[in-house]
Chain A
């Protein structure tokens, strides 16, 4: 195992731990209620207030609750799942037939994407406008491009290795 692999594995495990902690915090804040129930309550409140001609700010605040729950749960699940994919990348790293420098660059891009994507998703709760969405989109795109590059190297590598047999 190279030092790059070891660092990536450590980073992936830290991300898994972060994802678990986000889940912990969310579960404690919402008193262990599930996402469908939280969304239903928020939708009902927002729609009821609108029907009763409540103030615009109050209706928006109720609607924003559903928006917030979705973002937090998305961040929680995506951090852990992408970190699991990063662990897989660590395991297949030696089989990726690309120059070491390019492999390392792709792995760093993947890791950067896995940090930027959930941060962007969480930032959408607090930052109005497109900047937080752009951060999440850039993070997701980094993950996709880096994984596609590594997949290319992996397929090339396994094809070359399979040839002699």
Chain B
């Protein structure tokens, strides 16, 4: 029965190709395929890194920073011990440096993955030949990978190698820039295609595509509206309070008021955590939305039964909707909701991995069929 279904699927794909209309993701275009696999792999790696950071590193590091302030820096300021202040200051900076590097890697990988996936869908509109498109696709995926990995590695390598990591990071960024600008010039003057509307409609006609498309669009809009609201809160309340709280803490410590200094520094850290968590909720809603909409376009190439495609799409959407909500709730109610956010984030990662497996199966099936 499975064989029969596979045969029907391949027949359907062949019919589409024969009609010359399989352009949203042309299976013969290795550039498009490379961008799809590279894009999804970058997104998956970025999501996994984010999960590992959220579950194993973020909470521990936040507690470590709080402890460093309360147990070392504040007493050192009270005693006017400059060397102890310097040691504590550097330890906190190191923890923040690690957080920054991991977050930068996480966000850049996912952003490059989105660009790669979106460009895969635009490949058939490029006027360039397949080898040029392949080279541009390589620039984007490889550049994104080099930039992200070198940003990540720059924290762990020795000081001398750090300069090289930054150069590699800049080189990776330049490759991505080259790929994007090359894709831009490829679009200019390309012939217009009249079959785009019909083909897009066909690509998005499956139930799994519709689920992903609608949920994704709603998530993006919700994320934008929430971001608009939070920008106002941030500018008027959260941002000005940060320096004032730190100033209070240092003043209290200078006047040897330990409880006042500890209270202010805890409030300062709590405010910073809140800003980080709410900002993460805002960006994650939009990112999950973008991802859902992009995945809607490749559902036709996920070589799984319709029922399973629908299940994975639903699972992805549940994770995509609930994860940012739980992330936001974590800023108010604490760690329990952070745990829920991690769990729902993993659900989306699993669904994405299942879709990637379906894409690999599709490629294998197509290649087996078309192999000489």
Q: Which of B166, B173, B231, B246 contacts A23 (CB 8 A)?
A: B173
Q: Does B225 belong to the interface (CB within 8 Å)?
A: yes
Shortest distance from the beta carbon of B342 to any chain A beta carbon, whole Å: 21
Q: State which of B215-223, B321-329, B333-341 sits at the interface with chain A.
A: B215-223
Residue B183 at the chain A interface, CB threshold 8 Å: yes
Q: Would you give 26 A-B contacts (Cβ < 8 Å), ordered by A?
A: A9-B125, A16-B115, A20-B177, A20-B180, A32-B154, A34-B96, A34-B97, A34-B104, A47-B243, A47-B249, A47-B250, A66-B243, A80-B115, A81-B283, A81-B290, A88-B293, A90-B122, A91-B118, A91-B122, A91-B297, A94-B200, A133-B235, A140-B224, A140-B227, A144-B228, A151-B217
Beyond A36-B96, A67-B239, 17 additional pairs, beta carbon < 8 A: A1-B125, A1-B192, A1-B196, A9-B122, A33-B100, A34-B99, A37-B96, A44-B246, A51-B247, A77-B107, A85-B220, A91-B297, A95-B201, A133-B235, A143-B224, A151-B218, A151-B221
B247 touches A46 (CB 8 A): yes
Output the nearest chain B residue to A24 by Cβ-Cβ distance: B173
Interfacial chain B residues near A47, Cβ < 8 Å: 243, 246-247, 249-250
Point out the residues of chain B lying under 8 angstroms from A165, CB to CB. 205
* Most B Cβ at <10 Å: residue of A66, A77, A84: A84
Instruction: Give the chain A neighbours of B103 by CB distance below 8 A.
Output: 34, 36
- Whether A68 sits at the interface, judged by CB under 8 Å, is no
CA–CA, A92 to B184, complex, Å? 19
Contact B169 A32, beta carbon cutoff 8 Å: yes
Q: How large is the interface on B (under 10, 10 to 19, 20 to 34, 35 or more residues)?
A: 35 or more
A75 within 8 A of partner (CB): no
Given the known interface contacts A17-B180, A84-B118, the answer about A91 and B228 at a Cβ–Cβ threshold of 8 Å is no
Mask for A13-40, Cβ within 8 A of B = 1, else 0? 1101100110110011000111111001
A2 on the B face (CB < 8 A)? yes
Which residues of B are found within 8 Å of A77, using beta-carbon distances?
Answer: 107, 111, 283
A66 to B234, CA, bound (A): 13
What are the residues of chain A within 8 A of B227 when measuring CB–CB? Answer: 140
Min CB gap A82→B, angstroms: 9
When C-beta atoms are compared, the residue in chain B nearest to A148 turns out to be B221
CB of A14 within 8 A of CB of B184, answer yes
Q: Is A104 in the interface zone, CB < 8 Å from B?
A: no
B118, B224, B249: the one contacting A147 at CB < 8 Å is B224
Residue ID in chain A nearest B254 by CB atoms = A51
A23 to B173, CA, bound (A): 9
Distance A67 CA – B283 CA, assembled complex (angstroms): 20
Decide yes or no whether B266 CB sits under 8 A from chain A.
no
- Per DSSP, chain A at the interface is helix
Chain A residues whose CB sits within 8 angstroms of the CB of B115 once the complex forms: 16, 80, 84
Contact code string A132-162 (vs B, CB < 8 Å = 1, else 0): 0100110011011001100100110010011
Minimum C-beta distance from B116 to chain A (A): 11
Q: Which residue of B lies closest to A5 (CB)?
A: B196
**B294 contacts A by Cβ under 8 Å:** yes
Q: Residue B10 at the A interface, CB < 8 A?
A: no
A-chain residues with CB within 8 Å of residue B107 when the two chains form the complex: 77
The interface residues of chain B lying within 8 Å CB-to-CB of A6 are 125, 187, 190, 192
CB distance from A48 to the nearest CB of B (A): 6
Q: Is A10 in contact with chain B by the CB < 8 A criterion?
A: yes
Q: Within the assembled complex, what's the spacing in Å between the Cα atoms of A25 and B239? A: 24
A87 to B123, CA, bound (A): 12
Report yes or no: B125 in contact with A144, Cβ–Cβ below 8 A: no
B-facing residues in A66-119 (Cβ within 8 Å): 66-67, 70, 77, 80-81, 84-85, 87-88, 90-92, 94-95
Chain A residues near B297 (CB, 8 Å)? 91
Which chain B residues in 83-122 approach chain A with CB under 8 Å?
Answer: 89, 92-93, 96-97, 99-101, 103-104, 107, 111, 114-115, 118-119, 121-122
